[in-house]
Structure 1
Amino acid sequence: MSYGDFITIDQAVSALGLTVEDIPHFFSHIAPLEPSQRIKETLDETLNLAANISTEKARSELIITPILLEIRRKFQSRIGYFSGNTFNVDESKGLTGACDFLLSASSNQSLVTAPVLTLVEAKDNDLRIGLGQCVAQMVAAQIFNNSKGLKQISVYGAVSTGTNWKFILLENQKVKIDLTEYFITQLNQILGILAEPFRIYFAQHQ
């Protein structure tokens, strides 16, 4: 069993002993982050291209990756970016396998370090298909963070089609899913939520 075997949110919650709560506008309090001219120009070029190609790989390479690299630049490359990397944490729970994307609070690109944010690329352009996998990876990130001494830290996760984004928070054993769906036209809010765990971490670890 691996992350990809957690098909639905119900399956992940049941298998991993979690509770789940759907909350409208759960992340609306987070300060938006103004996109740079660089990411604006990049997306101006790639959004239509990704739509015309219309494959998951194109959306991943042309939309999601530039947005995650924008977060990395916002923190002066103090964040590690990982795509398709293996993240084996607990084989007995099925928390093994490759992750679509990970961000971690380190400039070291050869090593994933805590804290970790996980992002799953939605399958078949459906955000619901990916929630279970994302939650499983968030639990893995929580275990990983705890093993590195970062206990009681909230874990952020996201599922994205590239143009549509859904965000999740894991606190202890409770999964909180924002019912609000964020669109690429709300890029400043998307960037703000993606940056939030690292803003908190770096503020506490100056």
Structure 2
Amino acid sequence: MSYSDFSIADLQDKFQLTFIEDQMLFPAISDYQLPEAFKAMLLQFIPLALAIDTEKARSELIVAPFLAQLKLSLKDISLFSGIEFNVDKNLGLAGRCDFIISKSREQYRLDAPIVVMVEAKNDNIKSGIAQCGAEMIAAQRFNAEKNNHLDTIYGCVTTGSLWRFLKLSGKDFYIDTQEYHIQTPEKIAAILVYITVGDVSQ
């Protein structure tokens, strides 16, 4: 079993998660200003990614550049893409993750604390929620093993064009009632900055 094999029932039964699905997680967050050159590039990449319409194209042309820009803007974080994240194979908390963001500046190896897990999907946000949830549980355990406890781990499932955010606090698993569209990139950027460093001031 690996992250991609998890169902919502697995998260509830194996890890006793309580699902909370009626809250808007970021009701009053201000936009985060992105460089004009990046926004212009994104506007060119989006139609190409949507025309190719594969998970790989959406990930490489929209999601990866977006998260790379986050890394360049914040500096004191690390970003990993497509790495194996094996925490507990007996529990199925193993496999390859699309994107991992850590508050550690260490870029040559993954170190705690992991703060955000991002899972890219081709066209179905819902299908990625359980997978991302399992990755968030693994991140929670990874941090604890490194004696770097965090109250909250965030996650995101995205098709590139739509972004849905998740939050794991203890055993409470929140699914944001809102989906954010890539046509509002500065709102998505603001949420990513907030869940990574807790501050959207520039």
Name the TM-score, length of structure 1 as normaliser.
0.90
Which residue of structure 2 lines up, in the alignment, with residue 204 of structure 1?
Answer: none
CA gap of 1:46–1:199, structure 2 versus 1, over 3 A, is same
Whether the aligned pair in 2 keeps the contact of 1:157 and 1:167 (CA below 8 Å) is yes
Distance in 1 (CA, whole Å) between partners of 2:174 and 2:152 is 11
Distance in 1 (CA, whole Å) between partners of 2:8 and 2:34 is 31
**2:71 counterpart of 1:72:** yes
Which residue of structure 1 lines up, in the alignment, with residue 162 of structure 2?
Answer: 164
Whether the aligned pair in 2 keeps the contact of 1:12 and 1:133 (CA below 8 Å) is no
Which residue of structure 2 lines up, in the alignment, with residue 5 of structure 1?
Answer: 5
Q: State the 1:95 CA deviation.
A: 0.3
Runs of 4 or more, structure 1, over 3 Å off, are none
Distance in 1 (CA, whole Å) between partners of 2:118 and 2:22 is 19
Distance in 2 (CA, whole Å) between partners of 1:38 and 1:154 is 33
Name the TM-score, length of structure 2 as normaliser.
0.92
Which residue of structure 2 lines up, in the alignment, with residue 184 of structure 1?
Answer: 182
Whether the aligned pair in 1 keeps the contact of 2:24 and 2:178 (CA below 8 Å) is yes
Partner AA of 2:193 in structure 1: A
Distance in 1 (CA, whole Å) between partners of 2:20 and 2:9 is 12
Distance in 1 (CA, whole Å) between partners of 2:126 and 2:28 is 24
Q: State the 1:44 CA deviation.
A: 1.4
- Percent of matched pairs sharing the same residue: 36
Q: Deviations over 1:62-93 (max 9, x none)?
A: 000011011101112x2211111001111221
Which residue of structure 1 lines up, in the alignment, with residue 27 of structure 2?
Answer: 28
Which residue of structure 2 lines up, in the alignment, with residue 195 of structure 1?
Answer: 193
Which residue of structure 1 lines up, in the alignment, with residue 92 of structure 2?
Answer: 94
Distance in 1 (CA, whole Å) between partners of 2:157 and 2:68 is 17
Whether the aligned pair in 2 keeps the contact of 1:89 and 1:96 (CA below 8 Å) is yes
Distance in 2 (CA, whole Å) between partners of 1:89 and 1:29 is 35
User: Partner of 1:130: helix, strand, or coil?
Assistant: helix
Any stretches of 5+ residues in structure 2 without a counterpart?
Answer: none
Q: State the 1:26 CA deviation.
A: 1.8
Any stretches of 5+ residues in structure 1 without a counterpart?
Answer: 202-206
**Alignment RMSD (CA, Å):** 1.6
